[in-house]
């Protein structure tokens, strides 16, 4: 996969099946299809975007826009397409979306053990702001990270 081939678009309800496939191959405690459907259909603050390469979905990102904040609730890349810059591209997309909408803060949570995701977030300017005790269903702690958006910076993409 070449990063230049990636096209990001708003997810449609037809994309949920593929989103669930990527979710299931990415997490040991994946969200079930119904949770995605309810969030997609009924949560007015939720927005989902997919990254396609030659019309195949290789990644998705879910965000909630909450007042002055953009909360990244999910980001995953199809295992076969990882380490090609797609995760960083999706994160940059969300940061640029925040800039375009004049949102000043982006935040997200990650498992304490998820070094890969934390490395990505650190490298994109996120900083830890809160330890989340037993945040996940299996009792693992989480970490909340945030990035303050500078309106002076040009959007990346
Ligand atoms: C986290 C995730 C989205 C990263 O996607 P990706 O497309 O592989 O990431 P990128 O290729 O854009 O890499 C961006 C940075 O992440 C870090 N990274 C990615 N994969 C890594 C790995 N296997 N080992 C160490 N660091 C890694 C590196 O810092 C990398 O930058 P670099 O290439 O300059 O070293 C992907 O691993 C994934 O879907 N994981 C499962 C779901 C998940 O954990 N989501 C995050 C929930 S908080």
Residues with catalytic roles: 109, 121
Domains, in order of start, for the chain: 3-148 (3.40.630.30)
Neighbours of 97 (CB within 10 A): 19
pLDDT in tens, the chain (157 residues): 889 999 999 999 999 999 999 999 999 999 999 999 999 999 999 999 999 999 999 999 999 998 889 999 999 999 999 999 999 999 999 999 999 999 999 999 999 999 999 999 999 999 999 999 999 999 999 999 999 998 776 655 5
Mutate to test the pocket of ligand 1, among 86, 120, 125 (most ligand atoms within 8 A of CB): 120
- Ligand 1 neighbour 105 (Cβ under 6 A): no
**Separation of CA 99 and ligand 1 centre (Å):** 23
Q: Per-residue DSSP letters for 20-80?
A: HHHHHTT-SSPPPHHHHHHHHHH-TTEEEEEEEETTEEEEEEEEEEETTEEEEEEEEE-GG
Who contacts 12 (Cβ-Cβ below 8 Å, separation ≥6)?
Answer: none
């Amino acid at each position: 996969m070449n990063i230049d081939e990636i096209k990001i678009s708003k997810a449609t309800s037809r994309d949920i099946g593929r989103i669930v496939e990527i979710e299931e191959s990415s997490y040991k405690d994946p969200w079930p299809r119904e949770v995605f459907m309810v969030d997609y259909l009924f949560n007015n603050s939720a927005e989902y975007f997919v990254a396609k390469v030659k019309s195949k979905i290789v990644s998705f990102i879910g965000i909630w826009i909450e007042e002055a904040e953009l909360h990244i609730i999910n980001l995953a890349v199809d295992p076969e397409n990882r380490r090609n810059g797609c995760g960083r591209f999706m994160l940059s997309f969300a940061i640029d979306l925040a800039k375009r909408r004049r949102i000043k803060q982006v935040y997200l949570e990650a498992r304490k053990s998820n070094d890969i995701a934390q490395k990505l977030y650190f490298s994109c300017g996120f900083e830890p702001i809160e330890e989340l005790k037993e945040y996940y269903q299996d009792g693992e702690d989480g970490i909340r990270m945030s990035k303050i958006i500078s309106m002076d910076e040009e959007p990346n993409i």
